[in-house]
Structure 1
Amino acid sequence: MSTGTWPGRWTERGVLVCFEGGEGSGKSTQSRLLTTWLREQGYVVRPTFEPGDTPVGAELRRIVLSPDTGALADRTEVLLYAADKAEHVETLVLPALARGEVVVTDRYVDSTLAYQGAGRALEVAEVADVARWATGDLRPHLTVVLDLEPAAGLGRFEGRDRIEGESLDFHQRVRAAFVAMAAEDPEHYLVLDARAGVDEIAEQVRAGVRPWLAAAARATTVEARP
Structure 2
Amino acid sequence: MSNAVFEALELKPHAYPGVLVTLCGVDGAGKSSLMKKLESACTHAGLNCVTTFTPTSRIRKDALFREMVDSHWHTFKASSEPDASVRRVDMLGILLSIMGDLVQHLTDTVIPALGRGDVVFCDRYVFTSQAEIGTRSDPAATAPVLRSIAGHVLRPDVAFGLNVSGATSHRRVRSRNDVNDQPPPMSFLTRQVAAYRAVFDVNGVVALDGERSIDETYRAAISRIAAIERVAGRLGPIAAEHAAGTLAAC
Q: TM-score range by the shorter chain?
A: 0.7 to 0.9
TM-score, with normalisation over the residues of structure 2? Answer: 0.73
Which residue of structure 2 lines up, in the alignment, with residue 109 of structure 1? 126
Choose which of 15, 19, 33 in structure 1 pairs with 2:23: 19
Query: Mapping of 1:1-226 within 5 angstroms?
Result: 1-4=5-8, 6-12=9-15, 13-52=17-56, 56-60=58-62, 64=65, 70-72=70-72, 73-123=90-140, 124-129=142-147, 131-132=149-150, 136-158=152-174, 159=178, 166-186=184-204, 189-212=205-228, 214-215=229-230
* Per-residue CA distance 1:140-162 (angstroms, 9 max, x = gap): 11111110011220221234769
Q: List, as ranges, runs of 4+ consecutive aligned residues in structure 1 with deviation greater than 6 Å.
A: none
- In the superposition, the TM-score normalised over structure 1's length comes to 0.80
CA contact (8 A) 1:114 1:173 kept: no
Root-mean-square deviation (Å) = 2.8
Alpha-carbon distance, 1:31 to partner: 0.8
Percent identity among equivalent residues?
24
**Please, which runs of 5 or more residues in structure 1 have no aligned partner?**
220-226
Q: Bigger radius of gyration, 1 or 2?
A: 2
Number of aligned pairs?
208
3-state SS, counterpart of residue 144 of structure 1: strand
2:19, 2:157 → 1: CA distance? Answer: 6
SS in 2 for 1:195: coil
Q: Is the 8 A contact 1:57 1:87 kept in 2?
A: no
1:168 deviates by: 3.0
User: Cα gap change, 1:169/1:141 in structure 2, threshold over 3 Å: closer, same or farther?
Assistant: farther
Q: What whole-Å deviation, never above 9, does each CA across 1:41-93 have from its counterpart, x for those lacking one? A: 1111110001125xx34534x76569x96314222211221222122111011
Give the match's secondary structure for 2:155: coil
- Asked if structure 2 preserves the Cα contact closer than 8 Å seen for 1:14 and 1:99, the reply is yes
Task: Give the unaligned 5+ runs of structure 2.
Answer: 73-89, 235-250
